[in-house]
Chains A and B, each alone.
Chain A
Amino acid sequence: MLMQERETTYKKHWLLALGCWLLALGVQAQPVYDIIKKSPGYASCNYDVYPDSMPDFLSAPPPGKFPFYISHYGRHGSRYINKRSGYEIPYKMMAQANGVRELTSTGKRVFSQMNVILEDSEDRWGDLTDIGKMQHRQIVRRMFSRFPEVFADSVCVSGRSTIVPRCILSMEVALMELAQLNPKLKITMDASKSTQWYMNYQDPVLKQSKLRPAAQKAYDAYIASRTGNSRLMEMLFQNPDIVKELVDEAFFNYYLMKMGLFQLNTRFSDDNYLTDLFTTDDLYRMWQIDNALWYLQYGFCPLNGGDYPYSQRHLLRQIIADADSCLRQDHPGAQLRFGHDTVLLPLVCLMGIDGYDLQTTDLDDIELKGWWSSSVFPMASNVQFIFYRSDPSDKDVLFKVLLNEQETTLPIRTDCAPYYHWKDFRRYCLNKLDRYEKKLSNEKTKKAKKG
């Protein structure tokens, strides 16, 4: 099937899901349960699929201000699951149960479906899918049509990617699309180890403290009533009680659900047999479990040290430094960066976009207060900084942040929301980073003295 035909097919398939997803992205007026009911993929958090179209509405800039520069960090598009081990947990359990003839007819069909999925994924672990490529082409097309002034004539567009192949290919697809839209653009690209220190920085110190005892305790208590699925066990196994010797109910339920939802990233098929095994209740509980874990590990959760978003301090400083440099140019063009969910989520938290800098010790709070990771980092998710000014001599540069192409709020004052004064945001971020780095430095000094 040709690419254009495929894209048309996608549009039909995803039209329904789009509506609810957009609601989740925007005002978050709907409860998560309702979103999942209409769009099951939302339950898979970082495995959710990016919508294939967006509403055109964006707030008009203050009079006399025009977009002139875009700074972007985007996650790679939809991909195959990273490693076979992601599927092996439920598969091995099913294989063992099949070996002792414990599968029901539904169980046998599920097992057969799992075999097809494994075969389809073999040697494609982590690969960008055709859906993933389409996502980036569409995002770039929208960026180009929304902000044509930024991409006028022969301005420079630089693409940078982490050294992971799916990110490199996402970058290439996006830049090729831009080249088609305006062949005069001066486009460069790179994917180098020399930029990993900010493009894909995984802080070894903060990572070590990913789940502290207090966080683990709160998490265990939170998920206690949400794991397991006896209904599923009865559907798939002839003797669910006995088969528990082979199949861990909680693990099996979680991983089988993930396996089913993941296929939305790889297939054009309407066959949702695996996901149809699960009720909205099941999916919703899995989302709660996952969302809580993402918050504990990647958000400003005080139970777990409350500092993880600072892992992206180098990236934020680089974004600011790049902007400082580009603001001095007459036609700076755009800087597009391609990376990962584990960078994008903490970056969004660090900047306090849409209240994602939430700090709470009550895990029930995170859902109530709108900390919904699925709205931040689906496949191909992105943050775009759109800069505005009246002319190159304009000292009062404004900007707005688009999270997944929707306007956001920032934790600073402004007189022209959703537009903010760049110098205010710059100061806010640099002060915040300086305070953290000072704290780090003090801790090091204390340790050295003790040592």
Chain B
Amino acid sequence: MQYDYTIMKLTKKRVLAAVLLCGAVNATAQTVADELKADLRKVAGLNYALPMTELAQETPPPAGKRPFYVNHYGCSTAYYLERPEYYDVPYKTLFQADSLGKLTPLGRKVLEKVRLLRSDALNKTGELTEYGKWQARQQARQMIKLLPDVFTDRCYVDGRSIVQNNCLLTLGEVSLEMSSSHSPMRLNVDGSHRSQMWMNPVDNVLEAKRTDSVAMARYADFIGRWPPDDIKLMGRLFSDDDYAKRIDASALSRQLFDLACSTQYAGVKDGVSLFDVFTPEELHRHWLRRNAWAYIRYGGCTLNGGHQPYEQRRPLWNLIHQGDSMLHLDYPVVHLRYTKESMVMSLVCLLELDDFGVQTSQLDSLESLGWADYRISPLGGSMVMIHYRSGKNDPDPLVRVLLNGREARMPIKTDCAPYYHWEDVKRYYLRKLYAYARERNDV
């Protein structure tokens, strides 16, 4: 099947919706609003599939410096929703209503779309979609194009994945593309629970605090301040108000939103959109809720202590350790790691890239602060730290970070942005890790 992966054409109605959405958000949050307006798919947040278009303009490295080591942490590329229930439950709700003649014409259209999506995902839940495979190949092509000095005959690529089907297959597609693109390519792949401790570690202490009562109360307060617009959605889908009242409106709305977000990478021919079921305000609110929820769980939210990103402190230790270990190697090395979106999100927040380490208790300020989940770890997203040096004994190696293919800012002073002095980078993050270790009595 041939796929056209250009940005989904917005219908007139959806264009109007996007404009309205833009107007609905706070004027100070123009940037996020503009992005959502330009590409409605971003409301999917962590389920937004990075388009993998051409890379932005590259800032050349300071004279004499060349890349020699690449440390990458990437999300799985686009995959079907993880469990069959995501498809089955809304389908059954709508199917049952239809069998009783309780659906509006729009409701019947929605049922048909849900049927198509469910059929497409049958026995494939949690697995890479064709779009996801294309994304992975594209990622490999971009990496090779971006770093010709690294992908040489002598380069060694070590690719690892957590033990999860979609991550293993993302790694497979990337590795396969690399193997086809350059010969000889020394490339090893692996996927083992052994590497879990620095690929996706779990910290039971932090996880216990993650959704404590204060955070949950403030989250409930945050999502409760809007009118119950799910009821309006029921009115559009069901022809009988009394029947609609028996449906869990909030649950069905969430389920349809999940499916709507998944349409951007589903394998349904000619594409199916469910975004037009919702009004722009409804879509925006769904995104705000999800974004706040992601921030509480993986960001620097002070409601639960502000330390959730430290769950990924071992990978950060590993980043520092590997950066030092590779300094004197006489051949380029690439470390590819494919893991969960949530892990990459926490790591990015821990690294405070592009101010995503921001700490606040004000969930309604996230949009104005620019903390948007789709910017941090979308499907196909990655954090790539590239190390530069002039030679094996260069006393001043530099690093540059690409977040989802774009140059990212680090919270560190530099005289050659977006390049940073490795010694400064190391010192900053080691201090940060030591301070947290002291707080946890880990030292």
Q: Which A residues fall within an 8 A CB radius of B?
A: 2-3, 122-125, 127-128, 133, 163, 165, 168-169, 171-173, 175-177, 179-180, 183, 185, 187-194, 196
Contact = CB atoms under 8 A, between A and B. Distances in A.
Given A124-B193, A163-B165, A180-B184, A189 B179 contact: no
Contact of B176 (A125, A169, A175, A194): A175
Given A180-B179, A187-B180, A123 B123 contact: no
B290 interface: no
28 contacts: A2-B156, A2-B186, A3-B186, A123-B193, A124-B193, A125-B193, A127-B190, A127-B194, A133-B189, A165-B163, A168-B191, A169-B168, A169-B189, A172-B168, A172-B176, A173-B189, A176-B179, A176-B185, A176-B187, A179-B180, A183-B179, A183-B180, A183-B181, A183-B183, A192-B124, A193-B123, A194-B123, A194-B124
A172 B173 CA distance: 8
Contact of B180 (A123, A133, A172, A185): A185
B176 A179 contact: yes
Interface string B156-192: 1000000101001101110110011101111111111
B192 A180 contact: no
A194 B184 contact: no
Contacts of A185: 180
Nearest to B189: A172
A176 B168 contact: no
B127 interface: yes
B122 interface: yes
Contacts of B193: 123-125, 127
B165 A191 contact: yes
Nearest to B166: A191
B196 interface: yes
Interface residues of B, number: 32
A124 B191 CA distance: 9
Interface in B132-146: 133
Contacts of B122: 194
A431 to B, nearest CB: 30
Contacts of B168: 165, 168-169, 172, 191
A79 to B, nearest CB: 11
A123 B194 contact: yes
> What 5 A-B pairs have minimum CB-CB distances, sorted nearest first?
A179-B179, A194-B123, A172-B172, A176-B179, A179-B180
A155 B169 CA distance: 22
A167 to B, nearest CB: 10
Contacts of A133: 188-189
Contacts of A191: 127, 165, 168-169
Contacts of A196: 123
B331 to A, nearest CB: 10
